[in-house]
Amino acid sequence: MQPRAIFVSDIHLGSQDEPNAKKFLQLLDRLPHEGFTHLFLLGDIFDLWIADHTYFAKRFELILSKFRDLQAHGMEIHYFEGNHDLDLRPLFEKQLGIFVHEEAINIQFLGKKVRIEHGDQMDPDDRDYLFLRWLLRTRIVRFLGRHLPGPIVSRIGEAASHKSRKYTTGVRQAIGKESVEKKLIDHARRAYAEEPFELLVAGHVHVGFDETVQIDRHDVRIINLGTWLDQPLAFEIATTKSDLIPI
Ligand SMILES: [Mn+2]
């Protein structure tokens, strides 16, 4: 069977009953029948998820069991931590066998060099956030996140998550869609200098984007998955085509 991959990000699910959760479940449902072999979750799938609290596992149990179904169909799932879903290894990797990534990765898929990431590290000017990102991953904060009771973690987290979403929308409105797009391209150039790729797939900035630019005289395609809060999108890579598709 030929590999076929689908990428989604920034769904920002607050519960499993909301319309986008149903849409997401329907999408997951049809993946194995349509021959998809790989699912890439590019972060901020949930509006809040911290560590392995049963609080979150219960809240989104339908989605977790759908992930298990996909694995039973032989699909491989990768989950990139976002800034709303953190410390995923204890549950998603250790218990569910999903590959968790905290940083960008470069892979070969169908002979194409692809860089994949959530995208929250793409803006070097965003020092406050980059500090916060570091802080949230320190041992002490991870310890608290894992050991404080679920309801407390969720209350603190929901306040932070609301602020963060407002911040992302604020940035987009303050600097404009074009400046966000310029940041995407600048980031692609910097990342390319580290390790070249033909395709970059990211999320986080909440601006749907699909453009091919020239870097070092090579065509590089940059995809941003936008947010399901505006318009549900997914990106797929198959042998015949690679497309950004409305869900
Ligand atoms: Mn994000």
In tens, the pLDDT along 32-88 reads 999 999 999 999 999 999 998 899 999 999 999 999 999 999 999 999 999 899 999
Contact assessment for residue 105 and residue 116, using Cβ atoms and an 8 Å cutoff = yes
Predicted confidence at residue 124, as pLDDT, reads: 80
User: Ligand 1 center to residue 165 CA distance, Å?
Assistant: 8
Which own/partner contact pairs does 227-231 have at CB distance under 8 Å and 24+ positions apart? 227/9, 227/10, 227/11, 227/12, 227/44, 227/203, 228/8, 228/10, 228/11, 228/12, 228/20, 228/23, 228/24, 229/10, 229/12, 229/20, 229/165, 230/206
User: Ligand 1 center to residue 1 CA distance, Å?
Assistant: 33
Residue bearing tokens 């989604």: 8
How do beta strands 112-116 and 105-109 pair?
Answer: antiparallel
Helix (H, G, I), strand (E, B), or coil: what is residue 3?
A: coil
User: Ligand 1 center to residue 10 CA distance, Å?
Assistant: 6
pLDDT digits (tens, 9 = 90+) for 96-155: 999 999 999 999 999 999 999 999 888 887 777 787 788 788 888 888 888 888 888 888
Q: Across-strand partners of 242?
A: 237
Q: How far apart are CA 45 and CA 25, in angstroms?
A: 12
Q: Supply 52's token pair.
A: 């392995």
Predicted confidence at residue 73, as pLDDT, reads: 97
Predicted confidence at residue 121, as pLDDT, reads: 87
User: Ligand 1 center to residue 196 CA distance, Å?
Assistant: 24
User: Ligand 1 center to residue 43 CA distance, Å?
Assistant: 7
Predicted confidence at residue 171, as pLDDT, reads: 77
Q: Supply 156's token pair.
A: 């603190």
- Around Cβ 109, how many Cβ atoms within 10 Å? 17
pLDDT of 181 above 90 = yes
Helix (H, G, I), strand (E, B), or coil: what is residue 189?
A: helix
Q: How far apart are CA 147 and CA 18, in angstroms?
A: 29
Predicted confidence at residue 128, as pLDDT, reads: 76
User: Ligand 1 center to residue 2 CA distance, Å?
Assistant: 31
User: Ligand 1 center to residue 174 CA distance, Å?
Assistant: 17
User: Ligand 1 center to residue 202 CA distance, Å?
Assistant: 10
Contact assessment for residue 224 and residue 183, using Cβ atoms and an 8 Å cutoff = no
